[in-house]
Structure 1
Amino acid sequence: MDSRLHIIAGFKDGGSYVKDLYVSLPFRVVSVGQRKSDNKLYQMVMSSSPGILVGDHYHLNIELEKGASLQLQSQSYQRLFNMKDKAVQELHVKMEDHTSFAYVPHPVVPHEDSNFQSKANIHIGKNSQIIISEIITCGRKHYGEVFKLKRFQNLMQIYHENKLVIRDNVVIQPDLIPINCIGNLEQYTHQGTLIFYTTKENVDKNNLIETIAEWAEQHKEEMEAGVSAMEDNGFVVRALGHGGELMYNFFLQIQEILWSLE
């Protein structure tokens, strides 16, 4: 199924709003920020499908006009079902100057023989910031499907002034790269990545990294996490663990402090 979602976040009278919205099956988008008082836009992406099926091609297009702030939320864990071929998702985000975008979705659950390819291209403007993450689980562990997927790939590319500033490529293909080998996931069953990048000049990157490292230390019995600073104002958080819920809540905690930056 070819499925499309297109959101344009506008900015008017000091607040962000949905300027335009188009969805096709199985997508649905609802507002979830009615109780917020920060004049930012909060939208939840929902789906009438139980998961991503073979042949599905998702086209997600997000645009933020100057001054707009948009936080996307997911409805639930994303299941990738058995596939003879593959499924594809393309995310395109265009951010004008003075914008903020955040997307910290629930974990992905790849079923046995699933094959999924995801690609994100993000263009960020001046004095702007982006928070985006992904958590990959081992599959349905209680069904004995521990990394029995065919292949999973998520390629993320962020551009500023038409220059590639971040490229992150996560590939899991157990038949080629043993998942438990040294340098891969080893004994862990869940992997998470959160990317924060900003073109603002007044962000105290080092202080943020220290705060996140302290939070990670509190969960060291259940999860290992590290933060890598970028040359510019940004960083990448990597996490390994045995459960998706703890990692997801950890990323939400990070999102909360980053989202409040002015």
Structure 2
Amino acid sequence: MAAASLTATGFYENRSGGSFGRRSELYLSSCMRGEKAVLDEVHFTAPFKVMEPFDGEKGELKVMILSASPGIMEGDVQAQHFHVGRGTKLEVSSQAFEKIHKMKDGCARRHIRICQEADSFLYYMPQPAIPFKNSAFDNIVEVKLQNKTSQFIFQDILSCGRTAYGERFDYQYYHSLVQVWREDRLIYRDNTRYAPDILCMEETGMYEGYTHLASLLLCGLQKDNEWADKVRTILETTKDVEGGVSFLASGDATVRILGRQAQQLQELCKLIVGA
């Protein structure tokens, strides 16, 4: 993986620092061998590890990213790159809820790059993130889809903090930029910048009294109005959640759900994807 390709945002010009003395990197690449999808390249540095992949019920290759760290610490800099080869189907998840720990003066940063070839499928579904009190986190996700046959699902769940400890939106900031290109054309851009000291996160238009927010993006799956009606029915008949579904100008779909339990939102996302 070329280091220069990961410095476009300016995040990763310095390769030293952080809990592990250098930038933490992960690279995964898939390809077809005969009729079977395999990982043909796997590279990682501490704290990342990758569990032995296994086949799912629908022919997808399930990959779980492991971490030897208790969570994201001050000064951590992470770079992840996923290449999804032609004809392969991947489901990528993480080991446990992502704890973003308290920070004194600095922040933590992560840059994820995803490249998908034609006739590929990726369901990227990391575990929910929990920003601790005084944490500060910058996250960038860049996705490049070769064409409309490149199917991509992105699931992201962010909590308000450690509610059991009385922490609700006590973090310094949480910045997340997600951009998706198809055939070199930008089709989706979500620039989330939560700063509780500036924004009232509890009010209308934000979390509205809820504790968790799930964001679901579905590209290339040809979802239609009938599917959207099913999703709205699911949301309306599920207790203690609020949400909505909308279509992008490209025809792709996005769903947002507010709730109070991460596991409930995970199950809802799975149900919506399969609707």
Output the TM-score relative to the length of structure 1: 0.91
The one-letter code sitting in structure 2 at the alignment partner of 1:134 is: D
Superposed, 1:105-254 pairs within 5 Å as 105-126=126-147, 127-198=149-220, 203-219=222-238, 221-254=239-272
Aligned equivalents of 1:226, 1:49: Cα separation in 2: 35
Where structure 1 has 5 or more consecutive residues not aligned to the other structure, the ranges are: none
The 1:231–1:70 alpha-carbon spacing in structure 2 relative to 1, beyond 3 Å, is same
Deviation at 1:249, TM superposition (A): 1.5
Aligned equivalents of 2:62, 2:78: Cα separation in 1: 21
Deviation at 1:197, TM superposition (A): 0.9
- Deviation by residue 1:38-80 (Cα, 9 ceiling, x = unmatched): 4321100111111000011110000012111111011111000
Aligned equivalents of 1:68, 1:243: Cα separation in 2: 33
Moved over 6 A (4+): none
Aligned equivalents of 2:267, 2:127: Cα separation in 1: 9
Deviation at 1:204, TM superposition (A): 4.2
The one-letter code sitting in structure 2 at the alignment partner of 1:211 is: K
Contact 2:174 2:193 (8 Å CA) reproduced: yes
Contact 1:104 1:251 (8 Å CA) reproduced: no
Q: Percent identity?
A: 25
How many aligned residue pairs are there? 252
Aligned equivalents of 1:218, 1:14: Cα separation in 2: 41
CA RMSD, Structure 1 to Structure 2 (Å): 1.5
Deviation at 1:32, TM superposition (A): 4.5
Superposed, 1:72-111 pairs within 5 Å as 72-83=92-103, 84-111=105-132
Contact 2:223 2:253 (8 Å CA) reproduced: no
Between 66-75 and 112-121, the greater mean CA deviation after superposition = 66-75
Output the TM-score relative to the length of structure 2: 0.87
